[in-house]
């Protein structure tokens, strides 16, 4: 083969590589057209940029040095919004608003032309959570007079700043109330230590070894059994109490007992000494 054959082959290979390269660059150019043009435009024309990262759908506004507000648009599905301005950006505030998050604002004193700065929003939720716990558990929970469940109770997606009246009821325990205000992005935990509603009378004396079993006790004329020195499960309200010793000696007293209260009823020496 002569040299002209190799020259023709080399020329064909060169042409093939050249046109393939041009084709690839053309395809890439069409595919990334906006990025490439944006890059050259950004550098050539001296644009400055603020890249905002936030929840998709967040409204972006610009407040200038004269406190004039201009709506720019919404954060896209990719969670980004880019503000592009010709030349230098001076003395502006970027305001972010979303119906389910606290508004945010950041001031930018100076963004030199040809530079990019970022604003990564915290996006603190406007909605809070309520948790109601009781000890013991299993109490019926009411929120603003509405029955909502049983403790431990949790409710989500409550607006920030909302005031709630919490009521808990459990048989055998005193009903309790509490007021709480919801804070967005936080769990407002309300804890109740329930007190027994059982009212009780305690018979007491300083005499050691006294036998309370020898006593009988009457409430409004009805006889009740003592548990040691205690009369348990007394119904709250006004009552006439009568304690009778083994020899028939009587001790009377009128009381007004409240839920969960223990009334300490002292036995005088004359009653203990003569009635034992």
User: What CATH class does 199-275 carry?
Assistant: mainly beta
Give me the residue spans of the domains in the chain.
32-120, 127-193, 199-275
- Tokens, residue 98: 């979303």
Q: So what's the pLDDT on residue 16?
A: 64
User: pTM, whole model, 2 decimals?
Assistant: 0.52
| Distances 221 to 49, 235, 241, 243, 244 between C-alpha atoms, Å | 90, 14, 8, 11, 12
Q: So what's the pLDDT on residue 29?
A: 56
Closest CA to 185 of 151, 161, 149, 152: 161
Exposed/middle/buried for residue 151 (C-beta within 10 Å: 0-12, 13-18, 19+): buried
Helix (H, G, I), strand (E, B) or coil at 26: helix
Fold entry, domain 127-193: Immunoglobulin-like (2.60.40)
Is 32-120 in CATH node 2.60.40.10?
Answer: yes
Q: Which positions of the chain have pLDDT values less than 50?
A: 1-3, 5-6, 42-43, 275
Task: Work out whether the CA dihedral 146, 152, 155, 161 comes out positive or negative.
Answer: positive
Indicate the DSSP class of residue 268.
P
Q: So what's the pLDDT on residue 8?
A: 59
Q: So what's the pLDDT on residue 5?
A: 47
Q: So what's the pLDDT on residue 14?
A: 60
Summarised one tens digit per residue, pLDDT across range 161-219 is 899 999 999 988 889 999 999 988 889 999 999 888 888 999 999 888 888 888 999 99
Q: So what's the pLDDT on residue 33?
A: 54
Q: Quick count: other Cβ atoms within 10 Å of Cβ 248?
A: 7
């Amino acid at each position: 083969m002569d040299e002209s054959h190799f020259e023709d082959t080399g020329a064909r290979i060169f042409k093939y590589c050249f046109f393939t390269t041009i084709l690839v660059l053309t395809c890439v150019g069409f595919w990334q057209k906006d990025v490439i043009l944006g890059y050259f435009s950004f550098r050539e024309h001296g644009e400055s940029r603020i890249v905002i990262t936030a929840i998709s759908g967040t409204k972006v506004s610009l407040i200038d040095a004269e406190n004039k507000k201009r709506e720019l648009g919404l954060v896209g599905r990719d969670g980004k919004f880019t503000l592009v301005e010709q030349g230098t950006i001076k003395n502006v505030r970027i305001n972010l608003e979303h119906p389910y998050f606290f508004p945010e604002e950041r001031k930018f004193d100076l963004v030199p032309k040809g530079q990019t700065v970022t604003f990564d929003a915290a996006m603190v939720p406007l909605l809070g959570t309520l948790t109601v716990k009781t000890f013991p558990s299993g109490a019926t929970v009411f929120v603003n007079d509405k029955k909502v469940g049983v403790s431990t109770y949790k409710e989500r997606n409550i607006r920030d700043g909302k005031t709630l009246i919490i009521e808990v009821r459990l048989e055998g325990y005193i009903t309790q109330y509490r007021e709480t205000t919801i804070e967005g992005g936080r769990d407002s935990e309300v804890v109740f230590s329930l007190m027994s509603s059982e009212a009780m009378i305690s018979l007491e004396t300083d005499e050691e070894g006294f036998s309370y079993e020898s006593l009988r006790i009457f409430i409004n004329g009805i006889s009740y059994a003592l548990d040691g020195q205690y009369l348990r499960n007394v119904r709250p309200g006004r009552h006439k109490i009568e304690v009778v010793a083994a020899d028939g000696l009587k001790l009377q007293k009128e009381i007004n007992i409240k839920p969960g209260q223990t009334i300490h009823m002292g036995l005088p020496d004359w009653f203990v000494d003569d009635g034992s």
